[in-house]
């Protein structure tokens, strides 16, 4: 009997949903899609593939979407996948083994490889990293409206294999997410009382660019890698500029 539920958050993911549900189905029969109001064929495709779909109204809070799923999961384990992520065969086997036989509760992280515009990235902001995704169901809480992260009191172990992350296929998609994420971050930072000036916003961006380009070796990923380093500079700059603008508007 399967003992894990795979949770996928969606909003207009018809290009990804069939593959991610089918990939998740290799782990378990239980796939839960938390949709935030898709107006394409996401829901219909997910249901046709055997996933259960529930709706939660989008309120610019990714952590809230993930936490919403926890109370709907009946299995002992919960595994989070993004719609543009795919588990490798070796990781799927590891997940089956852990969730079937593990008597001592741990949380598990997975190596994630980044792909964008048809290229795999080995350095910079999209370099391989490790993401915590598999938990005993009641042992995790997600924090942060954007770039959210899990908090758990359990020790972390690492699964074999990897997770492939297929991020961007077009620049329109990239800039739409860029604008949305920087706005959510700025509003959240403002509500938490974080302050910034325009000069310090530029300083944060310069430091981020130098770190990603040279310390994290983004320059080694070729011309596209260098473009992504420059985009990281702009992303950091704009999210802090938006935060500074919120304070300026408040003063008015």
Q: Domain ranges in the chain? A: 4-166, 171-251
What pLDDT, on the 0 to 100 scale, is given for residue 7?
98
Residue range 101-135, pLDDT digits in tens: 767 789 999 999 999 999 999 999 999 999 999 99
What pLDDT, on the 0 to 100 scale, is given for residue 51?
98
Which among 211, 217, 214, 213 is positioned nearest to 230, based on CA atoms?
213
Torsion angle of C-alpha atoms 231, 127, 107, 91, degrees rounded to 10: 130
* CA 15 and chain centroid, separation: 17
Three-state DSSP class for residue 175: helix
- If you average pLDDT over residues 225-248, what whole number do you get? 97
What pLDDT, on the 0 to 100 scale, is given for residue 251?
76
What pLDDT, on the 0 to 100 scale, is given for residue 145?
94
Residue range 136-150, pLDDT digits in tens: 999 999 999 999 999
Does an H or E element contain 130, and which? strand 129-136
Judge whether residue 1 has pLDDT over 70. Answer: no
Q: Using only C-alpha atoms, what is the Rg of the chain? A: 19
Mean pLDDT across the chain: 96
- Alpha carbons 119 and 107: distance in angstroms, whole number: 30
Residue range 173-194, pLDDT digits in tens: 999 999 999 999 999 999 999 9
Determine how many CB atoms are found less than 10 A away from the CB of residue 169.
15
Determine how many CB atoms are found less than 10 A away from the CB of residue 219.
15
Whole-model pTM?
Answer: 0.92
Secondary-structure percent of the chain, ordered helix, strand, coil, rounded to 5? 45, 25, 30
Phi then psi dihedrals of residue 120, to 5 deg: -85, 135
Domain 4-166 has CATH 3.10.20.30: no
What pLDDT, on the 0 to 100 scale, is given for residue 101?
76
- If you average pLDDT over residues 41-70, what whole number do you get? 97
């Amino acid at each position: 009997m399967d003992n894990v539920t795979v949770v996928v958050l969606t909003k207009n993911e018809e290009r990804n949903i069939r593959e991610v549900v089918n990939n998740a189905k290799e782990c378990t029969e239980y796939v839960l899609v938390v949709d935030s109001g898709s107006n394409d064929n996401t829901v219909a495709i997910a249901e046709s593939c055997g996933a259960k779909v529930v709706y939660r109204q989008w309120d610019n809070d990714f952590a809230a979407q993930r936490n919403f799923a926890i109370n709907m999961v009946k299995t002992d384990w919960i595994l989070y996948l993004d719609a543009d992520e795919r588990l490798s065969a070796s990781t799927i086997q590891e997940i089956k083994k852990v969730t079937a036989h593990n008597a001592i509760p741990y949380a598990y992280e997975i190596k994630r490889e980044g792909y964008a515009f048809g290229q795999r990235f080995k350095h910079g902001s999209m370099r391989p990293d490790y993401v915590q995704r598999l938990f005993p169901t009641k042992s995790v809480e997600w924090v942060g409206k954007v770039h959210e992260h899990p908090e758990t009191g359990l020790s972390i172990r690492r699964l074999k294999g990897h997770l492939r992350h297929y991020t961007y296929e077009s620049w329109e998609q990239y800039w739409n997410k860029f604008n949305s994420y920087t706005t959510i971050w700025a509003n959240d930072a403002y509500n938490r009382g974080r302050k910034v000036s325009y000069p310090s916003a530029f300083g944060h961006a310069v430091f981020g660019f130098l770190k990603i380009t040279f310390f994290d070796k983004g320059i080694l990923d070729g011309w596209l890698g260098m473009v992504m380093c420059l985009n990281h500079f702009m992303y950091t700059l704009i999210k802090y500029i938006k935060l500074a603008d919120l304070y300026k508007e408040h003063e008015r």
